Amino acid sequence: MTTLAIAAALGEMAPIDLAELIECAALQTRVDRKYVVPLTALPSLLSQLPVGTRVLDIDAERSFRYESVYFDTPWLASYHCAAYRRRRRFKVRTRTYLDSDDCWLEVKINGARDSITKHRLPYRSQDRSTVAPGREFVDEVLSREAIPADGDFAPTLVTSYRRSTLLLPATTNRSFSRVTIDTELRWQCGSASLTLPQLAVVETKSSAAAAAADRLLWRGGIRPMRISKYATGLAALRPDLPDGPWRRTLRRHFCGISASSGRPSGPATHLTPSVVHHIEQEASCV
C-alpha cells in the first residue's frame, strides 16, 4: 500500500522532461543534504511540497532504477578520505541507467563547505565494471583538483535503487532545487548484500541555501544524516573498516551485522550471502 500511495502522490504532480530538468537545475556544483525517511512518511511529505513542484517523467514513468559501481584503490583511498573526513574527498563510479542503457563514468569531488562538483564522461555500459577505458579522464580530474590517488582502481561496491526526481520551483530569493527519492536500496560487496526495504534516502540538491524540501523535513522532525551510498554501505558490509562518520546512521537504520562487528542491529534490513545479477532493464535521470 505504501508503494501505491507514493506512486499516487507522484502522479498528482506535473511532469517535466529530462532536457528541461537539466536546463533548470543541472546543479553539477551544489550542496547536498541527505535524510533517511521511513517509506510510510513519504506520501504525506510529497503532498506538502510547494505548489509547482514537478516530477521527472520519461515515457510515462516516474520511478527509475539505477546501478552504480564504485571503484577504489587497493588501500581504499576514497573510503578512508571519507572515514577520516579529509577536507577534499573524491568518489569514482560508473552510473548506469539500464532502461536506456546509458552509462557515465563519474568523479565526484567534495570541497570546501560541503560543496560537491561532479565530472562526467559518457561510457559504454558493458564497461561499467572497469575504470580502464576512462582512467585518463579520472586521473585528469583528480590532478586538476590536486587530489593524489595512486594505484589501480578496482570495483569495490555495487549499489542499486529506484529513484524519482523532483524539481522544486524557484522563489524570489532562491533558484530551482532538486529532490531525489531513492527506494529499494541495495548494496553488494563480493558475495554479501544488504537491503533497506522499508526506508528511503531523500536528498536535496541546491546551489547553497536550504530548499523548501529541507524546511519541510525539518518541521517533521527529520534531520540531515551522514549517509553515503558508497562509504556507509561499505562500512555496513565490511566491519573491519573505520565507520566513525556513519556510526549513528548504521546504529539507527542498518542491521544484519554480526554482534562481533560492534555495530548494533535494527529492524529494517537483512543481509544475504548471495550475489545478485541484475538482468532487467532499468531507467533513470540526472
The model's pLDDT over 147-191, given as tens digits with 9 standing for 90+, comes to 887 789 999 999 999 999 999 987 656 677 889 999 999 999 998
Q: Is residue 18 part of a domain?
A: yes
- Per-residue b/e over 4-31, b at no fewer than 16 CB within 10 Å? ebbeebbeebeebeeeebeebbebeebb
Residue with cell 568523479: 107
Total domains present in the chain = 1
- Give the Cα separation of 30 and 177 in Å (integer): 10
Q: What is the mean pLDDT of residues 103-107?
A: 97
Q: Is residue 280 part of a domain?
A: no
Q: Is residue 286 part of a domain?
A: no
Q: Is residue 283 part of a domain?
A: no
**Of 107, 110, 112, 145, residue with least CA distance to 34:** 110
Tens of pLDDT, residues 23-58: 886 655 567 899 999 999 999 999 999 999 999 999
Q: What is the mean pLDDT of residues 7-30?
A: 84
Residue 210: CATH number of its domain: 2.40.320.10
Q: Is residue 282 part of a domain?
A: no
- Give the Cα separation of 104 and 122 in Å (integer): 5
Q: Is residue 277 part of a domain?
A: no
Domain limits for position 138: 2-272
Check: pTM over 0.75? Answer yes or no.
yes
Indicate whether 113 pLDDT > 80. no
Q: Is residue 244 part of a domain?
A: yes
Q: Is residue 89 part of a domain?
A: yes
